Structure 1
């Protein structure tokens, strides 16, 4: 099959896209983007299985399928190792459809029918992202619903629980970055922050910023995915990434003139090299987006309730 090759720049990231010449049908509302992790010897079979759900196209990172399928495929080759959040940002920028389903190469889609009706429903709701129910490689459910808390003597935590109902519910973060994203809302939110290099704190900052800006991430138990290998474990270590998360969200205050970052919040960075410059840039970012904040982090956590049922 013939292909076209093009080089792209996104910030400081350089990546090359190899596209099959199969034309897009423009009849399906979602694409699939698959992120790389480890080695999956059955990856081509997984891609073939995904093609049966009739996505508009499949975007692959740093992988060339060994089997030919009828769905248009774009291979995205990066020059350097990128965080999951950075890869999602690229996928959302490059996708041609209103919705993008983010998966990993070691995750299989369980749903019997990812129908056009599902995406119509997602569009009607207008949510930022719909996350799936996760299962381990033995088919056992994994706690997939998340909520934020301020525990005693700790800065902030996200806890996971098992959803006991068949209906949808509001959830705080995208577990393992997986889910069906509303592309326009994602790009409007600004995507994942590439300056936060910890993938755990990338997800937490994205979830808190989304909530503070009035967006919703929804857990849908009818959408199931299964790990084919070991379940990855988040690194929740407190680092500079935690500080960046806190200054972009937890430390932001509300006023009649919009959101602002108090000068006293500099104490988070006073020991860091170039801490003052970092703080000024963060403060300017909050000022630039001051009218996009609908509430502060404390109100988000205090008012955490289930989203209206689907």
Structure 2
């Protein structure tokens, strides 16, 4: 069976509408809603829709990674369905998808996401280039190897998720948590697959763009890109990063978000070491 984890941050109206829609597909499953907005309690609104749903109201804003980890702690079943508040399921193929997990090395399935412009995303890959790890979109309509499971639309093996330590909360409030998770899984010879047989509608960045400025989003993305490298890359790739770092700093000397992100990455990385 499956436990569903839905993180929510402020986008209440869309979340409740999508929850009502998705219940036709997940109504019989364990559902855990994690509300990351301490200014508003969602228990009554959610229980009105379905009294069996578990609601966690965070006492402060923890960010995506920690919110998801808290939800997983209450999960009772062997598989986890991660579903963002801005995602609508379009079919009920979850049980069929579970048969894929007969492979003990399969960590996760990442769904096809239909964006507002009908562009389909969800297939991904990444490589180390010019001192930084670059992730990018793949174009395919077949079940195939993915680098990471999309944090807001994927099905995962709970045991393996916990064995990997869950999402790393260093990336709070958002971005790169799922890339990091998939990279760590791959390092342990576990597989993540793009699974386009399950499709969802996704309003990408609906919440983020509503409550964070474009400059803030870019700074956080740069910060977490650096944190990802320092945390995961070793050997010759790390040496290449250190050699490229002065060049990157010079090339981006007029880029305020780059400079803010790099500075914030140093501060957060050093703080983690102190802890």
Shorter-normalised TM range? 0.7 to 0.9
With structure 1 as the length reference, what TM-score do the two structures score?
0.65
* Matched residue, 1:130: 109
| Structure 2: distance between partners of 1:278 and 1:145 | 32
Among 157, 181, 189, which residue is 2:134 paired with? 157
What is the aligned counterpart of 2:100 among 121, 126, 133? 121
In structure 1, the partner of 2:119 is 141
Structure with greater helix share of residues: 2
Shift in Å at residue 155 of structure 1?
Answer: 1.4
Specify which structure has the bigger relative contact order, considering alpha-carbon pairs within 8 angstroms and separated by 6 or more residues. Answer: 2
Distance in 1 between the 2:192 and 2:103 partners? 14
**Which of 125, 137, 145 is the matching residue for 1:170?**
145
How many residue pairs end up in the alignment?
238
1:238 aligns with 2:222: yes
The CA RMSD over aligned residues, in Å, is 3.5
- Superposition map of 1:101-120 within 5 A: 101-111=81-91, 113-120=92-99
Partner of 2:254: none
Structure 1 CA distance, aligned partners of 2:187 and 2:204?
A: 35
Contact 1:133 1:141 in 2 (8 A): no
Does structure 1 residue 69 correspond to structure 2 residue 34?
no
Question: Residues 65 and 177 of structure 2 are in contact (CA less than 8 Å); yes or no, is this contact kept in structure 1?
Answer: yes
Q: Following the alignment from structure 1 to structure 2, what is the Cα–Cα distance between the partners of residues 66 and 133? A: 29
Structure 2: runs of 5+ lacking an equivalent: 36-41, 210-216, 246-261
1:205–1:245 CA contact under 8 A, matched in 2: yes
The DSSP-based 3-state class of the residue aligned with 2:183 is helix
Q: Distance in 2 between matches of 1:47 and 1:127?
A: 28
Find the aligned partners of 2:113 and 2:49 in 1 and give their Cα distance.
29
Q: Structure 1 unaligned runs (5+)?
A: 1-28, 254-260, 282-310
Structure number with larger C-alpha Rg: 1
Q: TM-score scaled to structure 2, two decimals? A: 0.72
